[in-house]
Chain A
Amino acid sequence: MREFARRAALVTGVLGAAIGLTTTTASATATLSWHVAPSGPFTAHAVYPTLTVPAATFPCVSSDVTAGTLAATSATGNGIGNINNIKFTTCKIGATDFAMTMKVTPWKIDVAAINVTNPQWVDGKISSVSAHIKGSACDVDLTGTIPVHYENDTGNLVLPGTGTTLIASSASCYNLIKNGDVVKLKATYAVSTHPSVTTP
């Protein structure tokens, strides 16, 4: 029986990892359930986000989630939040401006696990990301996911800018951004409601 439980745990662990869940060491077969308080609508503000591609790095002056929601509970953590509207202000390629806008809304906030080194942090990602960069003579689509962690102590949603899962396509931008380029978005958003995100 114990052998069966152990193998079941192993399978669950492997499957869980494949679909974005991790199990805590204490409970081999439980799925996490997450709680957010306060839940409901939120906004968020970041100063000086940057976008980095293999050939260049582009600064913006700020970025805002102007409409977002967080669920009070989530069994898996997937889609625990929605980013309904996000905007980026005064982004530049060299001396010229460009705009970055959502092509699809909402983007999803998924949480996965408590960070192994910092128990105040919750690891996760932003998924269903679809955005468009437009400048004078620059057009690029961005699609994929962005790794994040949320800090319960500071109330910051941090995009460390280290992910490799947001990819450029339909790119025509001075040869600086090419199809297939990894695009790294780095920003720290202060979440207006400073929720606590906990599990179980």
Chain B
Amino acid sequence: MGVDVRYPAGRNSRSVRVASVAAAAMVAGLLSGGGSAADEGNKEAGTAAPVTIEYDCKLPSGAVRAAVRIAAAYPESGEAGRPMDPGPVTVGMSLPRSGLGAALPPDTTVVQSTATLAVQVAQNGRTAEAQWNGLAAPGAPVPPQGDLELSHQGAVPTVTVNAPGVVALTAGRLTVEVKPLVASEDKDPGAGLTFSCDPAAGESGRFATVTVPGATESSSPTGSPTSDDPGGKQRKGIALGPQDGPVTAAEKLCKAPLPKGKLDASEAPPAPKLPDGRVPTEYDVGAGMQTCSYAVGLANVRKLNGAMIINDPQKKPVQIGIAAMMHTAFREPDENNEGYYMRFDSLGQLDLPDAESTFLAFGFEPVSAKVRFENGPITVSTGNIGADADAGVFSTAYFKQSLRLYDVKVNGVPLDVGKNCGTSRPFKVVLNGGARYPNVFAGGILEGDVTIPSFSGCGTGGENLNSLFTAQISGPGNHVVMNQGNACVQDQPDNTPCPPLIPALPTSLPKAP
């Protein structure tokens, strides 16, 4: 083969080496951690490199130092007149558990919290003040000691400037409201605690700059009150998007397909047999709650030592529609607390956009192909085997898939594979997540190994290309990792993230124990 696909990207005069090194770069980029994605300034929540600012918070126990991490994917450069939208931002903070004092009853295990951050936007001597309202951390576990980690996410107002110059964003006062979600039964769950934090002495609070190129104007004093603009509110040159959240009711509607087909929970872990012979009760709940979310991921093709991005977050990803909680199966524990089984089944539909794959045929011929996914309905089963806390949590997604290849090029030259080149039969995809995927509403990580069957129907005019693709692609051990984000529940557009946020691509995580 002669090419180590783990070399970093580089350029070479010979065309074959260029293509293969480009493929290696793609593979290396895909399999590296989130840091490289952040360098490219993409717009996924949480993949922008966070900036840490030390804050002083006024808690009942006194002043407490907290580390605040702001991740907002502003591009490095912008354009005059075009709104700058970082997409969903994350404002994370680590708060000492002890600092919250009596505001959190001692048995509190989960809190929800909402944050508002004042952000100053400045350019060429002008400033505007934005309020990042309603950033929500829906459920954070409370450790018995140590730090409480709150990760607030949400959409923020856009910024538009109509002059060249550097736009600087600076974080100011952070107001946080923390509420216990599961409180001690001895106390009223209570109103929780609202407190404010300001950047610590010596901190500038600067977290992003965007350069708007062009000849800079001469500075002129603006923003101060004038007789026909007594509040000084008409910020010449800096306009902020709507402050109450830019999402309209129409934007909150799910854009996902309605799942069709039958549930098939045969790949979920079954209930272990009991000496008393009891089997789980099967119960049809109903048509299910309509939800939509984003599932993005990576599919490794083992033989090619390469990967494809599934539902690329940067290229108009599509939503997955899941009809949640259509069916349950459950068995009560016996008098020894054994035999507990609980399973929730949901039906999903994911009509994936086509993906692009580049690989080296026979180790040296660069081949590129477009891949069309034909996905059957997906059964997502989550639940517990055994009633002990955290024991036996399972999550399984099962569907059948076929692949079609088209627009194939070998060394840049189109190769006509015909219109029916693809896998010879649908194959099973079974992905598991354990506790990393608690339920279809929270989403999480699911992964598994897929066996790709032989290819058929490839080639035209009597030429049979099936063995080219079968030799290069088909076989076992193709690892797939998917990350599903929080779901928007269509009937609860204000209590759930509607529209749903696009999660980050999963990195190559070690498998769950």
Task: Assess A56 versus B328: contact at CB under 8 Å? Given A175-B289, A176-B285.
Answer: yes
A sample of 17 more A-B contacts (CB under 8 A), given A48-B333, A55-B283, A55-B285, is A50-B340, A55-B330, A57-B331, A57-B340, A58-B342, A59-B387, A85-B185, A87-B184, A87-B186, A94-B344, A94-B438, A96-B439, A134-B189, A136-B138, A136-B139, A174-B325, A175-B286
B110 CB contact (under 8 Å) in A61, A136, A175: A136
Tell me, rounded to whole Å, the shortest Cβ–Cβ distance linking A98 to chain B. 7
Interface residues of A in 108-146 (CB under 8 A from B): 134-137
B residues with a Cβ closer than 8 A to A are 109-110, 112, 138-139, 181-186, 189, 283, 285-286, 288-289, 324-325, 328, 330-333, 337, 340, 342, 344, 382-384, 387, 389, 393, 435, 438-439, 441-442, 489, 492, 495-496
Closest to B340 in A: A59
B328/A174 in contact, CB under 8 A:
no
> Which of B112, B286, B382 is in CB contact (< 8 Å) with A95?
B382
Given A57-B342, A94-B439, A96-B438: A87 in contact with B328 (beta carbons within 8 A): no
Q: A176 to B139, alpha carbons, bound, how many Å?
A: 21
> Which of the four size classes fits the interface of chain A?
35 or more
Given A48-B333, A52-B332, A136-B138; A98-B182 close (CB under 8 Å): yes
List the A residue with the shortest CB-CB distance to B438: A95
A/B interface sample: 9 pairs, CB < 8 A: A47-B337, A56-B344, A87-B185, A92-B384, A94-B438, A136-B138, A175-B285, A176-B328, A176-B344
Binary contact readout A37-79 vs B (1 if CB under 8 angstroms, 0 otherwise): 0000000000110101011111101000010000000000000
Per-position 1/0 for A157-184, Cβ under 8 A of B: 0000100000000000011100000000
The minimal Cβ–Cβ distance linking A94 to chain B, given in whole angstroms, is 6
Determine if A33 is an interface residue (Cβ-Cβ < 8 Å). Answer: no
Whether B495 contacts A137 by the Cβ 8 Å rule is yes
Closest-by-CB residue of A relative to B182 is A99
Q: How far is the CB of A77 from chain B (nearest CB, A)?
A: 28
Question: B185 to A101, Cβ gap below 8 A?
Answer: yes
Roughly how many angstroms separate A57 CA and B340 CA in the complex, as a whole number? 9
Determine the main DSSP class of B at the interface with A. Answer: loop
Closest 10 CB pairs of A and B: A87-B185, A95-B438, A59-B387, A48-B337, A99-B182, A57-B330, A57-B332, A55-B283, A101-B185, A55-B328
Cβ–Cβ < 8 Å partners of B489 in chain A: 137
Are B186 and A85 touching (Cβ within 8 A)? yes
Chain B residues within an 8 Å CB radius of A97: 109-110, 182
Tally A-B pairs: CB < 8 A. Answer: 98
Docked CA distance A176–B182 (Å): 19
Name B384's closest neighbour in chain A (CB-CB).
A94
Return the contact of A90 from the options B331, B389, B495 (Cβ within 8 A).
B389
Q: Contact between B285 and A186 (Cβ–Cβ < 8 Å)? A: no
The listed residue with most B CB atoms (<10 A of its CB), out of A54, A87, A136, A176, is: A136
Residue of A nearest to B188 (CB): A101
**Whole-angstrom CA separation of A91 from B496 in the bound complex:** 23
Q: Would you call A88 an interface residue if the criterion is a C-beta within 8 Å of the partner chain's C-beta atoms?
A: yes
Instruction: Write out the residue numbers on chain A whose beta carbons fall within 8 Å of the beta carbon of B189.
Output: 134
Q: Are A176 and B382 in contact (CB under 8 A)?
A: no
User: Does the CB pair A66–B186 fall under 8 Å?
Assistant: yes
Bound Cα distance from A94 to B330, whole angstroms: 11
Contacting residue for A99 out of B183, B331, B389, B393, CB 8 A: B183
Cα distance A55–B185 in the bound complex, in angstroms: 26
Bound Cα distance from A134 to B182, whole angstroms: 8
User: In the complex, which of the residues B182, B184, B324, B333 contacts A135, with contact meaning CB atoms closer than 8 Å?
Assistant: B182
Distance between B328 CB and nearest chain A CB, rounded to angstroms:
5
Complex CA–CA separation, A50 to B330 (angstroms): 12
Tell me how far the C-beta of B95 lies from the nearest C-beta in chain A, rounded to whole angstroms: 20
Instruction: State A180–B184 Cα separation when bound (angstroms).
Output: 28
Q: In the assembly, what is the distance between CA of A61 and CA of B333, in Å?
A: 12
Q: List the A side residues contacting B442 at CB < 8 Å.
A: 96
How far, in whole Å, are A59 and B438 apart by their CA atoms in the complex? 16
Q: A56-B330, A61-B389, A137-B441 known; A94 and B382 CB under 8 Å?
A: yes
When distances are taken between beta carbons in the complex, the residues of chain A under 8 Å from B182 are 97-99, 134-135
Residue of B nearest to A186 (CB): B332
Q: Which residue of B is nearest A176, CB measured? A: B325
Whether B439 pairs with A95 at a CB distance below 8 angstroms is: yes
Residues of A within 8 A of B283 (CB): 54-56
In the bound complex, how far is the Cα of B346 from the Cα of A24, in angstroms? 53
Knowing A97-B109, A174-B324 are in contact, say whether A56-B342 is a contact too (CB < 8 A): yes
Residues of B near A54 (CB, < 8 A) are 283
Kindly list chain A residues whose C-beta atoms are within 8 Å of the C-beta of B109. 97
